[in-house]
């Protein structure tokens, strides 16, 4: 069974074209140059439109160092 639907691949393809043209922008408004970021934006857009795309991975929390006990 396919993980991604056809609409998802169309969205990614569109994002890649916009990146190549130089019109793709990230959430902060900066131009996207990274291929990986363009794919992520395309998948995100597909998710918003209700396409078949797996959920985002939840970011794992980084634990801070425990402070050394004073003796």
Report pLDDT for 37.
94
Q: Which residues pair with 31 in a beta bridge?
A: 25
Report the percentage of the chain scoring pLDDT > 70.
Answer: 89
Instruction: Give every CB contact of residue 55 below 8 A, 6+ residues apart in sequence.
Output: none
pLDDT at 65 over 80: no
- Does residue 52 carry a pLDDT above 70? yes
d(CA 3, CA 25): 26
Comparing 52 with 33, which gets the higher pLDDT?
33
**pLDDT higher than 90, residue 31:** yes
pLDDT, position 49:
86
């Amino acid at each position: 069974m396919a993980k991604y639907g056809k609409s998802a691949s169309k969205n990614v393809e569109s994002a890649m074209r916009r990146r190549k043209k130089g019109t793709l922008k990230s959430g902060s408004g900066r131009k996207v140059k990274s291929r990986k970021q363009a794919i992520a934006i395309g998948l995100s857009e597909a998710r918003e439109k209700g396409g078949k795309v797996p959920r985002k991975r939840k970011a794992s929390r980084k634990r801070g160092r425990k402070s050394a006990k004073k003796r």
